Every structure is written in C-alpha cells, then in structure tokens.
Structure 1
Amino acid sequence: MPLAWLGLGYALGLFVQSAVSVPFWGAVLAAVALGAGGLRLRLAGLRIGMALLFLTGGLLGLARPLPDLTAPDGLTALHGTETALRAEVTGAPELAGGSLRLSIENVQTPGPDGWTPVSGKALVWADPGPPAVDERRHPYLRHGDEIVVQGFLDAPRNIGPFDYREHLAVRDIRTVVSRAEVISVTPGQDSGASLLHRTRSRLEDVLQRSVPEPVAPVASAVLLGLRAGISPETYADFRKAGLAHLLAVSGLHAGLVLGLSLLVSRALLGRRYGLYLIAPLALLWGYILLAGAPPSAVRAGIMGSAFLLALAVGRMPAAVNALGLSAFLVLLVEPLSLWDRSFQLSFTAMSGVLLLGLTGSAWALERTSALRERLPETAGRALGAAIASLTVSLGAFVGSLPVVAFNFGEVPLLGAPATLVAMLLMPAFLIASAVTAVAGLAVAPLGEALGLVTWLAGTALTELAGLFAAVPGALLTIDGMSATWVWAAYALIACTGAVVSRQRWLPAVSEAIRAAWEGPSHSVERLAVLGIAGVLMGTVWVAALTPDSDLLHLHVLDVGQGDALLIVAPDGATALVDGGPDPRQTGNLVDALLPLEGLRMDVGVMTHGHADHSTGLLGLAREGRFELLLATPSLADEDISWRTELDALGVGVQEGIRGMSLTLGEHVALEVLNPPLPLHSGTSSDLNNNSIALRLTYGEASALLMADLFTEAEYGLLDAGVDLSADVLKVGHHGSATSTSPELLAAVGPVAAAVPVGAENRFGHPSPEVITRLADAVGQEHLFTTADDGCISFASDGERWWASTGCD
C-alpha cells in the first residue's frame, strides 16, 4: 500500500504546516533524499520503504505552499456597509429559514463611472420573493443568472462550535450579504451546469408534488442534497439520533451507494470479466449527477472510481492504494480541501467502507456461513445482504465519527445503532425517491402513485430518527475538541486494526527490524542510509543552532481596513497594539509570526473603541491571549460592557494616559503620549482624539504609533511639548486627511513611515495629499502601505532600522 502511505503522509504534512513554518527548499530536498534513498533500499531488500514514503509525503506536504484563508479580498473592505452588488449566481439557490440562500461570484460594485469589478465571492441571504422570471417557478433564480442585489455586507459568523467562517473561507467566500433584496434578474445563458441545476430543481418539484409531507423535504435532502424545506423539529431529531449526515449528500452517501451496489452486483453477476464493476460505476456517477454534483460527492466519486479500477486489476491492496492516490491528487491540486468538512467526510467515510466495512463484511459473512447454508436459498441470500449492508454502513459511520465530533462538537451516542437500522431503510428510500422523481417527470400520476411508496419508506426513517432522538442522553456534547484529538482517534482506530490483523504484518515488520539492525550488506546501501541520516540531522542542527534574534521587531499586520501592530522584543516579550476588525484573521497572523509564543502575549493595547481597531483585540482577549490589556479611559456615551466581560474572565484592564510607561521585556519601553487628563472633549471626534498614542524605544531607536489621532490631538501634543521624535512613524488614521499635519511631521522627523489601510476601501484612504507629504518627508522608497505592500516589518538593533514586506 505505498500510495496510501504517501497520501496519508502528505495530508499530515499539510496539517502540520498550518501551525509550523518550514523552509520550502529544505523540505523538498529532504523529501527527494528520503524518496531516492527509500527506493534504493527497497531494491536492496531492506523493507522500510513504507515508512520512508510516509515521511516523504509528509515533507512534500510541509513544502506545499498553503493559501491564506484570512487574506482579505475586495469585498472585505466593504464589511459593515450596505451597498448594491451586481454578480453572477453560482450553484442552485435554496429557500432556507424563510430566506433565499444563494452564492454569487464575478461581483461588481457601483462607482462614479458605472459598475466596477471587485474580487471576492459572497453568500447572500435574500428576501424569498425575488422578481419573477417568465416560464420559471419560484424562487425563479438559477445558476448563471446575473442579478443586482442590495444588502448588508459582513464577515461570516461561527455557528456554535462549528467554524462556519473557515468552512466558507475554504470555498473562497469571506463575505455574507444579509437582509438582502434582489432588485433585478437577467437570465443567464444555457450551459451544461445550468441544465444540471435546472433538472435538479425539476426533480425537487416532482418530489414536493408527489410525496406527502413531511417526508417530501427529507426525500429531496437524501436524493438531491436540498434540505432547506426540512422542518427544524425533523432536523433536530436526525441530529440527536446521529443521522443528520443522511440529509446532506456527501462522501458518506457516495461511499454507501458504491459499497452496497458493489456487493449486490457481485452477488448477481459474480466476478466474471469484471463486468460486475460496471453497474456500481454507473450508479455511483448517476447518483452524484442527480444530486447536483456537489464537490464532496465528486471527490468521493473520483475515489470510488479509482477503487473500482483497482478491483479490476484484481488486488484488494491496490484499492487502498487507489484511495491514497486519489486523496493525494485532490490535495495536491487543492490543499485547502484538507480543511473542507465535505472532503473530510468523503475521505474518512470511504476509508471506513474500504478498510472496515468491506473487510468486516467478509469476516461476518464467513462467521455466519454455516447459519446461512441451513436457511432456504432466498432467505440465506437476504441474510447475507443484510449482514454485508450493516457492516459496510458501520464502517462508514466509524470512519467519519471523529471528524463529525470535531466539526460539530457533538457525538451521537446512538449514532452507530441508529445508522445500522437506518441502513436497512436507506436503500429502499433512495431507490423509491429516485424512481418517483424520474417517473414523475414523464407521467405526473405515476409519480404520485410511486410517491406513496417513498412516503412509507421516508416515514419509517423519520420515525426511526424520532425514536432514537427521544432516548435520554442520546447526544453527547464535546467542548474544545482539537484537531490533535482527531488524529489521535484515527491513530487509535489504526492501532486497533493493526492488532487485529497482526498475523499478516508482524512477520514482515520483524524481518525489517532485523535487516535494519544488521544494516545493509553493500556499500551503496550504506551510503544511502548515511545520506538520508545526514539530510535529516543537518536540517535539525540548522534549526537548533540558529541563534535567537537580538532585534526588536515591529510588524504592521495586513488586516484590511484596520490597525494591528505586533511588537516583539529581543527577549521574546510581545505586545499587540489593536487587533483589526477580525480576531480570527489577526490571531492567525500573530500565530504565523509567533508559532510558539503567540498563544499568550504580554500586553494588548486597545487604542480606542472603533471596530476596525478593537474587535479583533477584544476577541483575542476573550480567548485569554493577554496578560494585561491597556485601554483608553471610557467616554461618557461609550459602550463599556466589554470591561465587565473581561473582568469576569480574569483579564486585567488598565487605563492608559499620558505619562504612563510600560517595559516590554528588559530593554524595550512603551511610553503613552495620549490621551491627556482631562480628556479631549468637544472635538470633531472625541473617540479618535482620545485614542492611545505610543512611543516605542529600544536603545537609540524609536517608533511613533499614532493610532487614529486627528490634527486637533496632534496640536495638543505639540503644545504640551511632548517629545515626538522617532525614526519610524505609524501614520495616524489610515493616512486620512484629518491627520498627519506638516507640523507633526516636522516634530517627528521620521526616516520611514507605514500606513495601515485596506485596499479599495470605501473611505478613500489614504489621502493623496498626505501620501505626497509623507513621500517628501521620508522618500518614496521608505513609505509603505499595507494595501500595496501587505504586512510590513521593521527591525532594529537599537541603533538602526531595517524594513521589509511580507512579515516572513
């Protein structure tokens, strides 16, 4: 199973890379060395190739660059605003919770010169009554239509323990448009995709007409993956019973269709000429297309097709190889699929079918062969089919259980027995739903007649869900389950399987250990071993012997339209000044720069209460990321509920006023220059003018961090005789014309300046006048903006400063 080990190692490498930074070329060279050495040793008879392939896959995963899920797009700059968008509908719109849910891409926003393209995709929750389109049924919208929609744009919010924001980011969606109204619809051109979605909608209409309530929405969910019409009560029963996965077409469904159809086809046709593989292949892809070809099911279809191809070769181990190769190729093309819940369910369910379900069914059939032989032929075959079906479904359930627990924070304790019983009903329900939908398209009365059969099977399934859901303690809630526990769960499953099958692999492992202990017999093999060991040891030594930096680092993080500054002292002490508008985005950026120390920082500074500065910082504070939080004194009409919340969480909050000084580590100081006492009042923006301004010093080097101060507060600092001289200037208020007066620049005398500002922001920041003024003061080559340069890093040894972009 070499390819299975390669795929597993690659997936694990991708996962580790998300938390640990590894040099690209170092990982590639180590992977090549391991691969070549492993092949050479394999040819020499030293059987450690599987372990080396696993390590090679892991190193390749570490070397594979990952896209940044937190990177802003053009739409993120519009978060918190209401605007009109012109866009193209992608996928099939659905009615859900009294709203119309649809995805859009190829977005344009209104501008002075007409519609302007902007990057990004969005999920829209719109009024359920869009403009009617001739010859279409409600809700009228289809894949490929061009619409104009008006609504409020914001970042997605998580749903309980489920990281919904990451779930959408994997699909390149970072914006949700809520309370939206579809203003106009322009029907799109017919295409293969639009024809597929139109057929799917027609099949749903047939089921709604032909199958009595409340089973019709369940039939649409199981057959087509359209579950918007399911009542909250029915869905709650399925969730508590551990059967919610039956209501969303995914790899689990594809795995079950493949496993069950393969068993039936093999029983009817035998293994002659491999013909028994054709029907499962046709049924698998027919079902995937019927369900609208969701990405999860397509990936499962690819895996299943590779599995059938491996069976055609005639070796069961090749099937596991095919699964590993399929996963490897999917992750190679789109590595973010590893964080896609649908991919996780697809892969783990298919693995469960192959490694647990089919193996278990063979074992169970062997143990019950005597019993089945004593029964009449028909009864014996029926019992064998039932046993095989139950073991295959159990394999899929166990395989996907850790992923379900991690993503949804719940473990249905009765999920296994509920799934076992449900699998007795699912084939009949699926077949009846499909036949009803297809027959109803041709002859409506025939569809209605067959709909009664579908209703009977669906009623049995929904009653089963209600029965198991009513059992006290049926659903176990799991709080704080980490990805490490998921890997540990699969390691436990693998170890259990290894113990059960030890008679097959133990002799080979013993021989490999003996050969490894004695060493290769030829000089070439010895050189290969030494080469591999040298590469690995050299990599470890380079990392271990790299001296700690004695530099102060000031990172101006790219958080879009907002401020977030990370300060790292030479001895590792850390401070975060503001946190941008999104705690998850800022947390990921901080963790990437501080993979070990970033979990808890020494100081957090909230310069003022505007959301583009405070939301991310307060979110991190609620997670316990700071020892101390420094905040400006509250104004009379300012919301201070967060102070009570943080106090209850044990986070110390201290007010920052002029004259206060904090020591960061042993050699770095943060001096508070603003606000004064008494606070500014009656200005054009008291909240901005009372924000905390800081002077950062390390030896002879200094930086001035101006928060969002307007010129009124700048003149107050100048009139008070405050020392504003600094080498580096963090420009105030995102480069707005309200700040950075000529008098301030003359007092500071900076040699470099950084402007935190979002690309294509709705405020028009930075001001061209201010940019010109800054360029004249520091030179264009020493003027940076996060909109143009991304993350900006300044480093100092206490005398000089160095600037770089990218924050590597």
Structure 2
Amino acid sequence: MKKVAGFQSDSLLQLQGMSIVVLATAWLMGIVLASWLVLPPFLLLCSSGVVVVAIFLARRLPLSRLTFITLLCLILGAWRYTIIQPANDPQSIVHAIGSQVVKVKGMVSDAPKLAGRARQLKIAVSALNRLDTKDWQVVRGILEVQTPGTTLEDMYGANYGDIVTVQGKLVTPEPHGPADIQAQMTFPRISVNQHGGNPAIVFLYHWRVRFATILSQILPQPYAALLIAIVLGLRTPQLAPLSQAFNVTGTAHLIVPSGFKITVLAGLMLSCTRWLYTGRIADYLPGSPQRSWQRWLSTAIVLLSIAVYTVLSGAGAAAIRSGVMGSLLVLAPRIGRSYNIYTALAVTAIGMSVLDPVVLWDTGFQLSFLGTLGIVLFTPYIQYPLRSLAKFPGGYFLAETCAVTMAAQLATLPIFAITFEQISFIAPIANMLTVPLLGLSITLGLLICLLGLFFLPLGMLGGWLAWPLLWYMGQSILFCAALPGAYITVTAVDNRISWLYYVPLTCTLVYLLYRWPHAKLTGEHTQRKKVITKRVQRWLYVGLALLIITVTGIVSLQQSQAREKFSLTFLRVGPISKPAQGEAILLRTAENKTLLIDGGLDAGTLSQALDSRLPSWQRNLDMVMLTVPRAEHLLGLQDVVTRYRINSIIDAGMLHPSTAYARWRRTIQEQGQPYHTVSQGQNITLDQHTQLQILWPTTQLHISNETRDNTLITRLNMSGLRILFLGAAAQSPYALTQLTTYTAKSALQANIIQIVGDPGKTLSSALITLLQKVQPTLLIITPPASQRQSQTTSTKSQPIHLPPLLSTTHILSIQQQGNIEITGNQAGWHLQPIP
C-alpha cells in the first residue's frame, strides 16, 4: 500500500509540475470545441459557476481540485470564444456585409502592408452608417481595407493610429487570410479624421520604416529586401522574386519573426550590457547569490529590447509568440526559476488566446507555435540516428540542423500544405545551406541600421560584409527551388486532413516518449571538441571581414572606372509575367555618368533593373528626369529618390499639383535631394561627350487640363548618336504641333525617336508630320499604363504601317521586344533586345 501511495504521490507531483501546460491545453481545447459546437454563453457561465463550487468543495483533495480547475478552463475557453461570435454579438460588422454602400468609422490598428501597388490597412471599426439613414450605429470588428499606394508610410494617406472614415461595400474575407479579419473593403473612398494611436508604437513603426529605408539605400535589390525581411520581418514588393523560392524550400522562417531571432537579439544585448556588472553569465542561473541592481538593469534593458524588436517585426502573432517566450527565457533565471519551454508555450498561448481567441486560426501563430513544439519534441529522435556524423568536422552541426528542420516540417506539414498548397522535400538541404548565416545576417543588419542612422557612408562598410552573405543565401535558395522534385504542389486539401494527420503523429510521439525519454537520448549525444580557441576564432572573423571589405572594394572601384562605350537601356517595367507598365530609360555614358528618365508604375521591377545594371555598390545617380507627372512615369521614381543619392532631379513642374506629384516633391525635399525646374532652351551637360537639350515646354506652362501638353521633351546628343525623347507628348497634339511649327529642323534631327503609345493603334497625324520632318532611323514605342489591363504579354498587336516617306524607319516596341539596349562609342552604335 505504501508503494502504491508513493507512486500516486510522485505522479501527482509530476502532474502539478505541468499544471500550467494541462490548464492551457484545456483552455485551448475549449476554444476548439466551441468552434465545432453551438453553445449558449449563458449555459457556459452557469456551468462554470457549478465547477467553481466543486473546486471549493474539493479544496483539500489536490487531484480532484486540479481536475475541476482543468474543467473550468475548458468551459471558460469555450465561453471566451462563443461571446465573440457574430451570432452572439449583434454589433458585429459581419451583419453589415452586403451589396449596400456604407460608411464605416474606426482606427487603423496595425502598420500598413504593401501588396503590389496597394496598401492593406487593418481598421478596428467603431461606428457604421448605411447612407439611407443619418444615424450612426455602434459596430465592432476588424475591417481590412485595400487602398492605392506604394509606400509604407503615406504622408497623404492613412497610417497606424489614424481615425478614418471609409465608404464602400463590405465583402466576406478571403479564405486563408488573417483570422481576425471579419470583413473587407476594396479601394473605398477614405478620409483621415485625426491622428492617434499609441505614441510609442507610432514612434517604433516610423523607425521601422526608417531602418528599412537605410537598408535599401545601402544594399542593391533584391538583397536589401531580403535583409529587411530577415531583420525587420517586413516583406516589401522587391522581395517578390525570392518569396516563392523561400516558400517551396521550407525556409520561409528566415524572413518572418522567429524565436531564434529573439535569441540572437537577447544575446547581443546581454553582451552589450555586460559592462554594467562584473562576473560571468553563469550568475544568471537559478540560485546565484548575487542580486545586484546592475543585473536587474541589464535584464530590464534586454526585456525592453525584445519588446521593441517585437514591435519592429510587425507585432504579428508569430512575432508576439517569439517575444513573449524570449522574455520568459530572460526573466526566469532572474527571479530564480528554471525556464521550461512547455510552460512558456502554454503561458504564451493562454495570454494570446485570452485577448483574441481566433488567433488559434492565424497561420503565423499555428506555424510558429507548432513549429517550436515540434522542434522540442521530435528533434532528439531525428538527430539520434544521425549521431555518427558528429565524428566528422561540422557533422554535429549538420545533423542538428537537419533534425531541427525535419522536426519543424513534421509538425507543420498539413498547415503548410493547406495554406501554401506546397510540400517541400528540399527543406533540410536548403536550411543547412542558409540557417548557419542567419545569426550573422541579423547582427550585420542591425549594425548597418545603426551605422547608417548616424552616417550613411559608414553603413556601407557593413553593407560590404552583408552583401556576399545575402547573395549566397539568395542564390542557394533559388538553386534549391529549381532542382527537380524539390517540392510538389497540392490543391484542394481538406482541413479535416490535418486532424487525421495529428492523431497518429501524437500516438507515435507518446510511444517514443515512453520508450526513449529525451534525457536518455541527450545523454548519449557525442560532445564536440573545441579545436579552435575563442581568441583565434575572433581573429579569423576579423580577417574574413577585412578580406570581404577589400575584395568588394576593389571590385567596386574597378566597376566605377571609365567605360569605353555608352549604353542606353529602354526598360520593360512591370511585374513578372505581366505587361509593361509605364516607361523607364537608363543611360550610362562612356565616362560612367548616369541618367534615369521616368520610373514606370512598378517600383520593384525598376529597382531590380537598376541594381542589376549598375555596380553593386553604386548608390547614386547623376540625374533623374521626370517627363510628365503621371502615375506610369512617376510611381517608380518615388522609390528611386528614397534609395539613391541623386546629384540633380529635374522636371517641368505642374500647374495644378496632384497628390502623387505633391508626394514626389515632398519626398525630394525630405531626402535633401537637389531639384530643378527646366524649360525650353536649356542645355544640360552630362559629360564632355554627352549633352541634354530641353526642347519643350516653355517657361510659361500651357494652361490645360491635359498634363501631357506640358511633357518634358528632350534631345540627347552623344558622339555619333542623337535621340529625341518625345515620351507622352506623342499623345498630345498641342505639344507636337508647337514643337513641329516653332522648332528648327536642325534642333529636331535624331537617329532615334522614343514615344509612349499603343503599338496596335495608328499614329496620330501630328506625330506623322513630326516623323516626316525628322526622318529617324528607329522609332521605339513604350506602351502606356492602360496596356496593363487590356493586354497580356502574349498578345500580338497589329504592326504599324508608316507612310511611304518613312519606309526606312524601323519600329520596335517594348511591349513586344522586352528590354532594348543601345550601345556604342564614337565609331557607331547598335541595338539588341536583352533579357
């Protein structure tokens, strides 16, 4: 009897030690059950009252008391989920979804996100008006709004904390979207009533954008976007070429908030605050006799850093989960408690689901929570058969990385398949190639942000170190994604498969835990021998850093030297697999001077095109010219004036500034870039062989509602080549007539004429007259932005038939040919389509 009683006592102590995990499991199961069953909230409250009485009656029976408390958590979890359901909340915004146009008031509750050329806003709604009545009714819920825009912080739009009014039609959210979204509204009429929000969060979101800007100014794309995602958890449109590769290779955790990043940050802050006290990190362990205020100050700084980094990472479900667990890891030793990852997961899950029960259906939370749990539970069993690799140099690390990757993938397989419709087989290899550099990349990213904040050229030193690492990571991911059989695509996966998947997985895990406990496996792992001291290791890192800086510096200087020929590239600006969207023209002279004419609609494509054609470390342009303040010419330049240092920015001005043009001018002013207005008769010298003549408009702009009437028309004169840039003026009869009538023929003579127009439409009579006067050898046509909706890349336009007098003029279209490059020197020039 004593033996049985002792066994029961030990079991009870073990159960009580995991009591938080048990209670958290009950709470979460209550939420899940309530999502399956329709339960009246009043009945659940009455049931919880009965259980509370039972707990009081069983207060002297530990096992019974714990059982009733567990049951109470189950009931309360179900009650918490039930009361937020629209059926039980008559003020939910879900009831307003329909075909009727409504007005909604609320506050932007999260930082805006970019999706192509649109900004996505989360609005915590507070009031609704149905337009057929004057009264506003109280509503609750989260509304996702999609508005035009290409910047995270829009000085003329809505940002975090703003009180806004939106007018439009409410629709049902898309499947597999954020779990907390209850309704959506696409491109509504929106007005900002006042600014608000938490000042601290507003401040941090602003610096998040500031740091992202610094990284994009120092590094070329898409590697700047990759480092922004790694360090700040922020996905920008420039990351699009790599995003799919990260998904299919199972390395998406590198570009989202994770516990590993929090660990790296905590380690950095502990090292930086070590001067506050004396002693070793071992003093942080439980039972340390030293409890000085310096150590508490160090702990407070680390906790504050984790909180700040969580907000900078976007404060999403995955970021919050990582931040809370990281804080518990730092705080537990300070208060004399041992850190238990199961308890930390339980506390985090309870806290987040109390505030928002639907977070359990958030994809980021599911992947982060289950991935962490899977790593803890399955890694020892996967790593144990690979223990023989520890005999070889680096073998232990390879085995550990492979085991961690497979464990996380095993725990999240159905969720990943349902959400992304893909299953990766290359994930272990891709992770072994890239994960070792994650900690170093984060450290360098933070260093670049801090150095660039004080002095941007100083941040270039960190950029020289980070670029080779980012290039390697990007190329490794792209290589792995391109391998045959790297992944498979699955469609129409039923959610019930996930539950069927986790049943045998749980049974297998229980058996493994019973048969081979973690402690037994861990004790048999081979210990690695240190063959290199820390001092030697530091000198190796310093030497490697100096080598990288030296090599990249030499390459940069070589690329900066004078070129023997010029190149003029007409860029096909537009997202991959979509039609061209606006014009962008890049000139590099023989003396390495650069001129960018217009920027198109897609900033991501433009940034990659520039960074692929300029030296890796060239972060400046000699001149940027905006020919006409229209969206298809202007939007891409918004990003350029932010990322590059520009010696001169020119345009012809605008009679009645639009919002886009006002934003363009304000961005130039905020960045401290030199700006000039130019007009007819001015000549601009780029180098000793290259000159830009301004032919139109006059100083006094033409009074017209058509902005194309005042398009900046220029002629580029180089050794052996003259190019007339008509641009959007080709669609302005007034500008063409004035140019043809009042400009000398010698001032218009050109080998090449560039226009904006539809290659499938007949040229206007005014343009034909000008062409007959100039007699160009080549006519290059850039499609207008309207082509993006009416055509696809595979559409074949009818050829343009020129009059007999222009039979020697050859026509090339960016829409059909893609990028076109003209190269040459004093001896002559030639052109060729390029990828």
Matching of residue 119 in structure 1 with residue 125 in structure 2: no
3-state SS of the aligned residue for 1:230? Answer: helix
C-alpha distance 129-270 of structure 1, shift in aligned 2 (>3 A): closer
Matching of residue 418 in structure 1 with residue 430 in structure 2: yes
Following superposition, the deviation at residue 85 of structure 1 comes to 5.2
The amino acid of 1:73's aligned partner reads S
Following superposition, the deviation at residue 368 of structure 1 comes to 7.4
C-alpha distance 390-12 of structure 1, shift in aligned 2 (>3 A): same
| Deviation readout 1:336-389 (Å, 9 max, x if unpaired) | 2222223323322332344445x67997999777x48xx8xxxxxx87677666
C-alpha distance 365-88 of structure 1, shift in aligned 2 (>3 A): same
Trace 1:505-654 onto structure 2 (pairs within 5 A). Answer: none
State the distance in 2 between where 1:502 and 1:140 align.
58
Matching of residue 28 in structure 1 with residue 48 in structure 2: yes
Q: Any conservation in 2 of the 1:3–1:324 contact (CA below 8 Å)?
A: yes
Matching of residue 240 in structure 1 with residue 251 in structure 2: no
The amino acid of 2:360's aligned partner reads L
**Structure 1 gap ranges (5+):** 376-381, 507-808
| Deviation readout 1:306-337 (Å, 9 max, x if unpaired) | 34545667776844233323323433443222
State the distance in 1 between where 2:381 and 2:304 align.
25
C-alpha distance 95-57 of structure 1, shift in aligned 2 (>3 A): closer
Following superposition, the deviation at residue 180 of structure 1 comes to 3.4
Following superposition, the deviation at residue 7 of structure 1 comes to 1.4
Matching of residue 206 in structure 1 with residue 214 in structure 2: yes
3-state SS of the aligned residue for 2:182? Answer: strand
Aligned to 1:458: 470
Aligned to 2:82: 66
Matching of residue 196 in structure 1 with residue 204 in structure 2: yes
Aligned to 2:483: 471
2:443 aligned to 431, 443, 452, which one? 431
C-alpha distance 118-65 of structure 1, shift in aligned 2 (>3 A): closer
Trace 1:684-699 onto structure 2 (pairs within 5 A). Answer: none
2:374 aligned to 352, 355, 366, which one? 352
3-state SS of the aligned residue for 1:66? Answer: helix
The amino acid of 2:82's aligned partner reads L
Aligned to 2:229: 221
| Deviation readout 1:672-693 (Å, 9 max, x if unpaired) | xxxxxxxxxxxxxxxxxxxxxx
Following superposition, the deviation at residue 241 of structure 1 comes to 1.5
The amino acid of 2:359's aligned partner reads S
3-state SS of the aligned residue for 1:91? Answer: coil
Matching of residue 328 in structure 1 with residue 350 in structure 2: yes
3-state SS of the aligned residue for 1:80? Answer: coil
State the distance in 1 between where 2:281 and 2:389 align.
20
The amino acid of 1:346's aligned partner reads S
Following superposition, the deviation at residue 141 of structure 1 comes to 4.2
3-state SS of the aligned residue for 1:298? Answer: helix
Aligned to 2:114: 95
CA RMSD of aligned residues (A): 4.7
C-alpha distance 396-20 of structure 1, shift in aligned 2 (>3 A): same
* Count of residue pairs brought into register by the alignment: 479
Q: Any conservation in 1 of the 2:170–2:185 contact (CA below 8 Å)?
A: yes
Q: Any conservation in 1 of the 2:227–2:470 contact (CA below 8 Å)?
A: yes
| Deviation readout 1:462-489 (Å, 9 max, x if unpaired) | 2222122112333334445455543454
Matching of residue 8 in structure 1 with residue 25 in structure 2: yes
Following superposition, the deviation at residue 294 of structure 1 comes to 2.9
Following superposition, the deviation at residue 447 of structure 1 comes to 2.0
Following superposition, the deviation at residue 502 of structure 1 comes to 2.3
| Deviation readout 1:431-451 (Å, 9 max, x if unpaired) | 222221222112111223322
Matching of residue 341 in structure 1 with residue 363 in structure 2: yes
3-state SS of the aligned residue for 1:88? Answer: strand
C-alpha distance 472-416 of structure 1, shift in aligned 2 (>3 A): same
Aligned to 2:185: 177
Following superposition, the deviation at residue 150 of structure 1 comes to 4.9
More displaced stretch, 174-183 vs 74-83: 74-83
State the distance in 1 between where 2:388 and 2:273 align.
22
Following superposition, the deviation at residue 77 of structure 1 comes to 2.5
Aligned to 1:273: 284
Following superposition, the deviation at residue 33 of structure 1 comes to 8.6
C-alpha distance 251-81 of structure 1, shift in aligned 2 (>3 A): farther
Matching of residue 301 in structure 1 with residue 323 in structure 2: yes
State the distance in 1 between where 2:189 and 2:245 align.
33
State the distance in 1 between where 2:264 and 2:284 align.
24
Q: Any conservation in 1 of the 2:86–2:95 contact (CA below 8 Å)?
A: no
Q: Any conservation in 2 of the 1:257–1:284 contact (CA below 8 Å)?
A: yes
Trace 1:108-147 onto structure 2 (pairs within 5 A). Answer: 116=136, 119-120=139-140, 121-128=142-149, 141-147=158-164
Following superposition, the deviation at residue 123 of structure 1 comes to 1.5
3-state SS of the aligned residue for 1:154? Answer: coil
Following superposition, the deviation at residue 15 of structure 1 comes to 1.0
C-alpha distance 320-86 of structure 1, shift in aligned 2 (>3 A): closer
3-state SS of the aligned residue for 1:18? Answer: helix
Q: Any conservation in 1 of the 2:328–2:339 contact (CA below 8 Å)?
A: no
State the distance in 2 between where 1:98 and 1:117 align.
33
The amino acid of 2:479's aligned partner reads L
Following superposition, the deviation at residue 127 of structure 1 comes to 1.8
Q: Any conservation in 1 of the 2:128–2:136 contact (CA below 8 Å)?
A: yes
Following superposition, the deviation at residue 213 of structure 1 comes to 0.7
C-alpha distance 441-204 of structure 1, shift in aligned 2 (>3 A): same
The amino acid of 1:24's aligned partner reads L
Q: Any conservation in 2 of the 1:308–1:319 contact (CA below 8 Å)?
A: no
The amino acid of 2:251's aligned partner reads L
Following superposition, the deviation at residue 200 of structure 1 comes to 1.0
The amino acid of 1:502's aligned partner reads Y
3-state SS of the aligned residue for 1:143? Answer: coil
State the distance in 1 between where 2:493 and 2:69 align.
30
State the distance in 2 between where 1:257 and 1:361 align.
28
Aligned to 1:767: none
2:96 aligned to 77, 84, 109, which one? 77
Aligned to 2:558: none
C-alpha distance 40-499 of structure 1, shift in aligned 2 (>3 A): farther
Aligned to 2:723: none
The amino acid of 1:66's aligned partner reads T
Aligned to 1:230: 238
With CA pairs under 8 Å and 6+ residues apart, which has the higher RCO, 1 or 2? 1
Following superposition, the deviation at residue 178 of structure 1 comes to 1.2
Following superposition, the deviation at residue 40 of structure 1 comes to 6.1
Q: Any conservation in 1 of the 2:108–2:164 contact (CA below 8 Å)?
A: yes
Q: Any conservation in 2 of the 1:129–1:139 contact (CA below 8 Å)?
A: no
3-state SS of the aligned residue for 2:244? Answer: helix
State the distance in 2 between where 1:400 and 1:285 align.
27
C-alpha distance 434-453 of structure 1, shift in aligned 2 (>3 A): same
C-alpha distance 289-90 of structure 1, shift in aligned 2 (>3 A): closer
State the distance in 2 between where 1:401 and 1:230 align.
28
State the distance in 2 between where 1:12 and 1:262 align.
38
Following superposition, the deviation at residue 258 of structure 1 comes to 7.1
The amino acid of 1:240's aligned partner reads V
State the distance in 1 between where 2:102 and 2:260 align.
40
C-alpha distance 270-77 of structure 1, shift in aligned 2 (>3 A): closer
Q: Any conservation in 1 of the 2:111–2:159 contact (CA below 8 Å)?
A: yes
Following superposition, the deviation at residue 421 of structure 1 comes to 3.0
More displaced stretch, 308-317 vs 416-425: 308-317
C-alpha distance 260-323 of structure 1, shift in aligned 2 (>3 A): farther
State the distance in 2 between where 1:385 and 1:263 align.
24
State the distance in 2 between where 1:495 and 1:341 align.
24
Trace 1:432-447 onto structure 2 (pairs within 5 A). Answer: 432-447=444-459
3-state SS of the aligned residue for 1:419? Answer: helix
C-alpha distance 286-420 of structure 1, shift in aligned 2 (>3 A): farther
Following superposition, the deviation at residue 425 of structure 1 comes to 2.3
Aligned to 1:155: 172
State the distance in 2 between where 1:81 and 1:250 align.
42
Aligned to 1:405: 417
